[in-house]
Amino acid sequence: MTTAAPPPPDLEPVTPHGGRPLPPARTRFGRWLQRRVPVDLEALRYYSNEPVPNHLKHWWWCLGGTPAMLFTVQAATGILLSFYYVPDPSQAYESVRRVSEVVPFGWFLRSIHRWSSNLMIAAVILHMMRVFFTGAYRKPRELNWMIGIGLLGTTFFFGFTGYSLVYEQLSYWGATVAGNLTEAVPLIGTYLARLLRGGEMIGDNTLTRFFILHIGILPALITALLAGHILLFRLHGVTEFEFESARLRGPEEKKTFPFFPDHVMTELIIGIGLAFLLTCLAVIFPAGLAEKANPLLTPAHIKPEWYFFWTFRWLKLTGLTLAVLSIGFFGFLALVWPFIDQAIRRRRPASEISVKIGLAAVCALLVLTVWEAVATH
Amino acid sequence: MRAFAGYDFATGDKNPADGKRQEFFNFLPTNHPHYGYMDYEGWRNIRSPYSGASLYGQGGRRGRPEPVRAGPVRAADPRRRRFPPGLSDVNLRVLMENRRGFLSRLLMMAGLGSVAAGVSAMATRYLYPLKAVRLKRRIFLAPAADVPAGKGRPYRLPDGSTALVTDTGADLVALSDVCPHLGCKVRYEGAQGNFVCPCHGGLFEKDGTAIAGPPADEGKNLKRYAVTRVGENLFIDIEETVQP
Amino acid sequence: MTLDQKRMIVASLSFLFLAALLIVAWVEGGKQRLQPKPKPVVGAESGKCLQCHEQKTPVIAEQWKDSRHAQLGVSCYECHRAGEGDRDAFLHEGKTIATVVSPADCGSCHQDLAREFEHSHHSKAAQFIGSLDNVLGEVVEGPLAAANGCWQCHGSTLAFAKEADGSIRRDKTGKPLLDPMTWPNTGIGRVNLDGSRGACSACHSRHAFKKSVARQPEVCGKCHMGPDHPQIEIYEESKHGIAFRTRIAEMNLDSPSWVLGEDYTAAPTCASCHMSATRNQPVTHDVGARISWTLRPVVSKRLENWEKRRESMKDVCHTCHAPDFVAAFYTTFDATVDMWNRKFALPAQKVMDALRARGRLTPTPFDEELEWSFYRLWHHEGRRARMGVSMQGPDYTQWHGFFEVAERFYFDFIPKAREAAHGDPEVARVIKASLDSPEHAWLKGMSPEERARIDAFYRERYGAEAAR
C-alpha cells in the first residue's frame, strides 16, 4: 500500500460564508464545533482585543461599564421578581408583600433590584458628566451622545414605572402626578396621558401598561440603545486624551494596553465590587413597603424618588405647563448639545463656555434636588 | 498530574492532672506543616485532614517542562526554600512566576465559581416553592338537629371533598364518601345499616370498615373524620394543605 | 497594576461577596415567616348567599371573611337561619332566614357567654320603660328622641311595621318588615322577637366580630359617656386611659387569650377591669359582676353580695397594684360615696318627699322647675362626682362633680324648694333640718380663724394684691 491516504474529512479547512479559510482547530471536538459554528477566532480576537488607551487605567474612566453591569443585575433580579409579581391593582401590593415577607430570599432580590436601580441612575449620571466635561461627545461622536441621552431618558422611565408597580401610596400618587404632567403638554397632552394611563384616570389598565413597559418595551429599547451605544463606541474607539503625566513620561511609553484580559479584569473588579456593595446595602437597608395605594387618601407629604426631586421642585416653582415645556426644552438642548457646542467652538475656538454651562446645569440640578430633599412641602 | 489526600492525627491528654499520659509523643518533631516554624513542640492533640493536587505542565520559556505545583500552600519563606537539584536561579524565577499566576487564576476561579454557585443556590431557593403546610382545624358542621337519624347527610368540606355524616343510632360518624377502591361515591343504606359503593359493590360497616367487595380485598376502609358535639352543634376536625 | 494583582483583587472581592451572601442567608434563616392563614370556610348553604352579597354588600362579605367565624365555617346561613315557626322568618332565595340575629342564636354555640349575659344588668337595659328617664325621652322630649337616642343604647323592643288594618306589613317577596322605630338597633338590652334580650353586636360589631373591638374602650364609650354618666371621659382622664392611649400598640388586643398580666401589661381598658380574665378569674359577660356600689340612683347603695363583687374587682386591681394601695383607694372611694349620700342626696330626697307629701308638687314629673333641678343634681352632677371618684378621674370628681353638685344644691335646689314650699312650715322644717348637719355649718359663716387662714394662704402664694 503506497498510495497516500487522503486527509480525513474533518481536517479539511472550513470556510465561513464570504470569509477566509480557517486554520483547523487542534482537537477533534474543536474541529467538530468549528464546522458547525464557523467563527473566525482570529478576527474575533482582533475585534475584541482592541488596545485601550492607558487613561482607562484610571477608575474614573470606567464608569461607562457600570450602568451596563447594573442593567444586567436589574434584568436578572427583575426576571426573578416577575415570577411572583401580579400586575393587578387588587393583588399587586399583596404580591410584593408576599415576595418581601414569604418567598425565601425574595426580600433580598427585591432590595437588590431597588438599590441597583438607584445606583444605575447615579452611574448613568456620573458617566454622562464625565463624557460632558471631557468633551468626549464632540465630533465624530455626536450621535453616540444622543443615544446616551436616550439611554438616560429610558433609565428614568424605568425608575418611574418600576416604583409604580409596587402599588404603594407613592406609586399611585406618583403616577397621578406624572399623568397630570403629561396632560399639561400642549396640544397632545390629553391624548398622550390617556394613552399612558389606558383611560381618563388611573385604573385597571394603568398598572398593566406600566408593567408591560417595565418588563417588555423598556428592556427591549434599552438593549437596542445599549447595543448601538457600544457599537458606535467600539467603531470610534475610546476617545484619546492628552495627559500631562503621559507627556512627561516620554514617547517610548506604550500608550495602550490590551482590552482583554487587562481591562476586562478591571471591569470585573468593579462588577464584583458593585455586587458586594449592593448586597451590603440590601442587608443593611432592605427595601421596605409603605402603605398600600389608597386612591381616596392623598398623603400629606409625598415625595418621588430622589432622582425626580429636581423635577418636583421645578414643578412647584414654575407651575405645570411651564415646567413641562421647560423640561422638554432642556431635554432637547441636552440632546442636540454636541451641535450647539460645535457652533460655539466654530466662532470662538478657545472657548471654555461648554464647561461653564455644564457646571451651571449640574449646580442648578443639585440645588433643586437638595432643596426638595430638605423642604417639608 | 498527582492528587493526594491524608489525615494527620495525634492523641491528646484528656486530663493532665490524673497522672496518666494519653498524649502522642513525637520523638523527632516533623511539625512544620502544622505549626510553621515552631519545632520545639511535637505532634500532639491534632486532627488535620488535607488534600491537594500537583500539576506538571509547559511552564518554562525554553519549552522545557517545568513542574507547576498547586495544593494547600502554607506560608513560605523563600529563604527557607530548598531548591531542587539542578535548578538555576533563572529557572526558579520562572517557576515562581508561573506558580503565582496559576495561584491567582485558581483563587479567582474559585472565588467567582463559589459566588456563582451561591447566587444560583439562592435563585433556586427563591423559585422553588415553599413546603405546603398541613393545617388542622375544627370547623362548624351543622346543628345536631340537622342530621336525621338513620340517614346519611353529605357536607361539603373546604377542600372540596364530602363528609357523609350519619347518625347510626348509636353514634355519629363522618366518613369520606369517596370509595377507597376507585373513587366512586358511597351511600348509606339505612335498612342494612351499612355503606354501599354502587360501582363494584364495595360494602362498609357503619364505622367505615370495609367488609365486602374490592375495598375489603384490598383492606382499605373509608376515611373517617372526627365529629364533636358542642352544645347543640356539631364540629368536624379537618386537615387541609395550604400552599404558603 | 499587573494582571496578577487584578486577579487577586477579583479573588478577594469574590470571597468578600461570598461572605456577604452568607450573611444574606443568615438573615434569611432568621426571618419569621407568617403562618399561612386558613381560607374562610363557606358553609354548604352560604355559597349562594355570597354570590350575591359579595356584589351587593361587599363590606359585609369582606368583614365576615376577616372574622374568626369564617375560619370556623360559621358563615351566613349558620347565623341567619330561622325555623319555619319563627315570627320574623321569611323565605329568601329558597332558604328560611331572619334578619335579626339574637343572643339566642349566638347562644347556640356560645352557651356560657349567653347565660352570663342574660344575668347581667346589660341585658335588662331596655327595661327602663317605667323610669323617669324614659318619661323624659319619650314624653317630654318626644318619641323620636327616644327611638334614635335612648333606645340606641338601651335597646328597642323589636316590633313589626303594621298596615292600617293591623296586619304585618310585608315587602314584595313576603318578607315581614320591622318597625323603623325599633330597627335598626344594636342597643344592648334589645328585646328580640324570639323573646331573648340583648344584642351581642352592641359590643361585638358585626360582621367581623373582632374581640379587639369589644376590648377597647371606645366600644363602651358609645353609651357610657355624656353629662349623666361620663365613664369614657373619666377613663380617658384617668391614669388608666392615659396609659392605654400611649401604649395602645402593646395592648395585644387581637390575641385569642387576653389575661391581664399575662397577655398584656400596658394598661387596663373598661373590659380589663369589668369583664376580662385575670390570672385568678375567667372572663365574664356579666358586666356588673365586679361592681360593689350602685352609683346610679339618688342614694347609692351597696349591691347584693357586694363583698364578693368587690373581691373580684380587687383581684383585678392586685394584678398591677399592691394591696395597701388598693385598700386606701377603696377607703376614700367608699367615704366619698357616703359623703354624697349624707350631705346632698338624703337631704335633697327628704325635701322632695316633704314637698310631695304636703302636696306642694304635682304628681306629674318634670312639669316643675324644681324637679329639673333635683334631676340634674342627682342624675347628672351627683353621678359625675360619684363615677369620677370610682374610676380615678379627679376633674370629674370635683369641678365637673362636687363643685356643680354644691352650686346646684345650695343656690338652685334649696332656693327653688323654699319657693315651692310657699311658706309651708312642715317643708320649711325639713329644709332647715337638712342644712343643720355640721357639713353645712359653713353656710352660717366661717370663723375669724378660718378666714385668717385663707387670707394667709393667698398672701403667701399669690402676693399681697391677691389677698383681697
CB of A103 less than 8 A from some CB of B: yes
Distance of CA C308 to the CA centre of its chain: 22
The pLDDT, as a whole number, for residue B58 is 44
The pLDDT, as a whole number, for residue B78 is 44
| Type of residue found at A12 | E
Q: Which residues of C touch A261 (CB under 8 A)?
A: 3
> pLDDT-derived band of residue A9, with 50, 70 and 90 as boundaries?
low
Average pLDDT of span A106-133? 93
Are the C-beta atoms of residues B77 and B102 closer than 8 Å to each other? Answer: no
What is the residue whose three cell numbers read 484619546? Answer: A240
Buried b / exposed e across C180-206, counting CB within 10 Å, b at 16+?
ebbbebbbbbbbbbbebbbbbbbbbbe
pLDDT, greater one: C95 or C85: C95
* Whole-number Cα distances in Å, B21 to B10, B25, B39, B46: 13, 10, 21, 16
Contact B141 C73 (CB under 8 A): yes
- Is the pLDDT at A212 greater than 60, yes or no? yes
Contact A282 C24 (CB under 8 A): yes
Using CB atoms, pick whichever of A101, A102, A272 lies closest to residue C10. Answer: A272
Using CB atoms, pick whichever of B101, B230, B244 lies closest to residue C36. Answer: B244
Contact C20 A276 (CB under 8 A): yes
Contact B231 C39 (CB under 8 A): no
Contact A103 B126 (CB under 8 A): yes
Q: Which residues of B touch C39 (CB under 8 A)?
A: 158, 242
Contact A103 B115 (CB under 8 A): no
Average pLDDT of span C147-170? 90
Distance of CA C267 to the CA centre of its chain: 17
Kindly report, residue by residue over B203-241, the tens digit of the pLDDT: 888 778 888 888 888 888 888 888 888 877 888 888 877
Kindly report, residue by residue over C396-437, the tens digit of the pLDDT: 999 999 999 999 999 999 999 999 999 899 999 999 998 988
The pLDDT, as a whole number, for residue A3 is 60
Taking the C-alpha atoms of residue A332 and residue C233, their distance in angstroms, rounded to an integer, is: 64
CB of A108 less than 8 A from some CB of B: yes
Strands B194-196 and B203-204: antiparallel
CB of C18 less than 8 A from some CB of A: no
Q: Which residue of B has its CA nearest to A265?
A: B108
> pLDDT-derived band of residue A32, with 50, 70 and 90 as boundaries?
confident
CB of A75 less than 8 A from some CB of B: no
Give B133-242's CATH code, choosing from 2.40.50.140, 2.102.10.10, 1.10.30.50, 3.30.70.2970.
Answer: 2.102.10.10
Q: Which residues of C touch B242 (CB under 8 A)?
A: 36, 38-39
Taking the C-alpha atoms of residue A179 and residue A201, their distance in angstroms, rounded to an integer, is: 8
Residue C166 Ramachandran class (φ > 0 left, ψ -120 to 50 alpha, else beta): left
Q: Which residues of C touch B244 (CB under 8 A)?
A: 33, 35-36
Kindly report, residue by residue over B67-114, the tens digit of the pLDDT: 444 434 343 444 444 444 444 455 555 555 566 678 888 899 999 999
Give the closest residue to C19 by CA, choosing from A374, A346, B52, A280. A280
Q: Which residue of A has its CA nearest to B105?
A: A265
Q: Which residues of A touch C16 (CB under 8 A)?
A: 276
Minimum distance, in Å, between the CA of residue A104 and any CA atom of chain B = 5
Q: Cβ contacts of residue C427 below 8 Å, gap of 6+?
A: C351, C354, C355, C358, C360, C417, C420, C421
Kindly report, residue by residue over A275-307, the tens digit of the pLDDT: 999 999 999 999 988 888 888 888 877 788 899
> What residue ranges do the domains of chain A occupy?
6-37, 56-237+258-302
CB of C41 less than 8 A from some CB of B: yes
**C-alpha atoms less than 13 angstroms from C-alpha of B228 in its C-beta half-sphere:** 10
Average pLDDT of chain A to the nearest whole number: 86
Kindly report, residue by residue over B34-68, the tens digit of the pLDDT: 555 555 556 666 666 666 655 554 444 444 444 44
Minimum distance, in Å, between the CA of residue C28 and any CA atom of chain A = 6
> What residue ranges do the domains of chain C occupy?
123-207, 327-458
Q: Which residue of B has its CA nearest to C13?
A: B111
Q: Which residues of A touch B129 (CB under 8 A)?
A: none
- Is the pLDDT at C345 greater than 70, yes or no? yes
Q: Which residue of C has its CA nearest to B140?
A: C73
Taking the C-alpha atoms of residue C244 and residue C268, their distance in angstroms, rounded to an integer, is: 7
Q: Which CATH class is domain A56-237+258-302?
A: mainly alpha
Are the C-beta atoms of residues C381 and C331 closer than 8 Å to each other? Answer: no
Neighbours of chain A (3+ CB pairs under 8 A): B, C
The pLDDT, as a whole number, for residue A286 is 92
Other CB atoms closer than 10 Å to residue A280's CB: what's the count?
16
Taking the C-alpha atoms of residue A261 and residue A267, their distance in angstroms, rounded to an integer, is: 10
- Is the pLDDT at A114 greater than 90, yes or no? yes
* Whole-number Cα distances in Å, C199 to A45, A98, C105, C140, C434: 86, 39, 11, 27, 44
Average pLDDT of span A49-66? 75
- Is the pLDDT at A364 greater than 90, yes or no? yes
- Is the pLDDT at A40 greater than 70, yes or no? yes
Average pLDDT of chain B to the nearest whole number: 72
Using CB atoms, pick whichever of B101, B104, B143 lies closest to residue C108. Answer: B143
The pLDDT, as a whole number, for residue C126 is 84
The pLDDT, as a whole number, for residue C84 is 79
Using CB atoms, pick whichever of C13, C41, C111 lies closest to residue B139. Answer: C41
Other CB atoms closer than 10 Å to residue C1's CB: what's the count?
11
Q: Which residues of A touch C28 (CB under 8 A)?
A: 104-105, 107-108
| Residue B126: strand, helix, or coil | helix
Taking the C-alpha atoms of residue C391 and residue C397, their distance in angstroms, rounded to an integer, is: 9
| Type of residue found at B230 | V
Percent of chain C with pLDDT over 70: 98
Other CB atoms closer than 10 Å to residue C216's CB: what's the count?
18
CB of C8 less than 8 A from some CB of B: yes
Work out the end-to-end distance of chain B between its first and last CA atoms, rounded to an integer number of angstroms: 51
> What residue ranges do the domains of chain B occupy?
2-127, 133-242
Give the closest residue to C315 by CA, choosing from C267, C270, C261. C261
CB of A363 less than 8 A from some CB of B: no
Greatest Cα-to-Cα distance within chain B, rounded to the nearest angstrom: 107
Taking the C-alpha atoms of residue B112 and residue A18, their distance in angstroms, rounded to an integer, is: 39
Minimum distance, in Å, between the CA of residue A202 and any CA atom of chain B = 31
- Is the pLDDT at C149 greater than 50, yes or no? yes
DSSP run (H or E) holding B109: helix B89-127
For chains A and B, count residue pairs whose Cβ atoms are closer than 8 Å: 22
- Is the pLDDT at A164 greater than 80, yes or no? yes
| Residue B155: strand, helix, or coil | strand
Average pLDDT of chain C to the nearest whole number: 90
CB of A106 less than 8 A from some CB of B: yes
Q: Which residues of C touch B108 (CB under 8 A)?
A: 7-8, 10-11, 14
Q: Cβ contacts of residue A226 below 8 Å, gap of 6+?
A: A68, A71, A151
Are the C-beta atoms of residues C117 and C198 closer than 8 Å to each other? Answer: yes
Q: Which residues of B touch C109 (CB under 8 A)?
A: 140, 230-233
- The region of weakest confidence among A188-202, B191-205, C285-299 is B191-205
Taking the C-alpha atoms of residue C104 and residue C151, their distance in angstroms, rounded to an integer, is: 20
Three-class secondary structure assignment of chain A: CCCCCCCCHHHCCECCCCCCCECCCCCHHHHHHHHHCCCCHHHHHHHHCCEEEHHHHCHHHHCCHHHHHHHHHHHHHHHHHCCCCCCCCCCHHHHHHHHHHCCCCHHHHHHHHHHHHHHHHHHHHHHHHHHHHCCCCCCCCHHHHHHHHHHHHHHHHHHHHHHHHCCEHHHHHHHHHHHHHHHCCCCCHHHHHHHHHCCCCCCHHHHHHHHHHHHHHHHHHHHHHHHHHHHHHHHHCCCCCCCHHHHHHCCCCCCEEEHHHHHHHHHHHHHHHHHHHHHHHHHHCCCCCCCECCCCCCCCCCCCCHHHHHHHHHHHHHCHHHHHHHHHHHHHHHHCHHHHHHHHHHHCCCCCHHHHHHHHHHHHHHHHHHHHHHCCC
Percent of chain C with pLDDT over 90: 61
- Is the pLDDT at C231 greater than 60, yes or no? yes
- Is the pLDDT at C123 greater than 80, yes or no? yes
